[in-house]
Chains A and B, each alone.
Chain A
């Protein structure tokens, strides 16, 4: 059974810092991995999707990497801003037609 963990559980940084969020999964046979952002009381917003054959994806100040063999993904946020404050969730999918398995999330606070 796939299990996903995220470290740290919470993170507080001053504005402008670069930071890394970590996601680990136990079964390396994945189809893709998706990073989401969730603001309080809101749904999930997709940030980046990495296919199993890819090693990284970039969107603006965000960069996500994937190391399938070690069961890890990282989300790098450059030059953090107070508007980046949210919970960040990673989810892995075993195959098309299979559900997503989520980690518990990292709660990020960026202080002005």
Chain B
């Protein structure tokens, strides 16, 4: 596709519900990142994939958060038993393989509201 696509754009979940957020990176982009952005703050790193391998998950806030990218393209971020503090915008980014001139491209984000 032309850009990074995320779905759904908006999600309202009741506390305790499980949610799944989807990211379609730019075709051919090897690297994929998930970020969490709270209102009025900069994005915070969650996890990073290179192809299907999850190379860094140090930013996942708890074991309720799980991400996968089984075929090295589409990625899903799953949050189990959602809590109010999970309310945020979840951003996905992808980059090509390349040197330091490699730009990151972000999707529009999924705004999760836990009620």
Contact = CB atoms under 8 A, between A and B. Distances in A.
A102 B103 contact: no
A18 B42 CA distance: 24
Contacts, number: 69
A8 to B, nearest CB: 14
A60 B65 CA distance: 41
A7 B91 CA distance: 24
B62 interface: no
Interface stretch (B13-21, B67-75, B76-84, B105-113): B105-113
Contacts of B100: 31-32, 51-53, 96
Interface in A84-112: 89, 91, 96-105
Interface of B: 4, 6, 31, 33, 35, 41-45, 48, 50, 55-56, 59, 91, 93, 98-109, 111
Given A45-B106, A99-B45, 16 more contacts: A32-B100, A32-B101, A42-B109, A43-B107, A46-B105, A46-B106, A89-B43, A91-B42, A91-B104, A97-B31, A98-B48, A99-B33, A101-B45, A102-B35, A102-B42, A104-B42
26 contacts: A4-B42, A41-B111, A42-B109, A43-B109, A45-B106, A46-B104, A49-B103, A52-B100, A89-B42, A91-B43, A96-B99, A96-B100, A96-B102, A97-B31, A97-B50, A98-B48, A99-B45, A99-B48, A99-B56, A100-B43, A100-B45, A101-B45, A102-B35, A102-B42, A103-B42, A105-B42
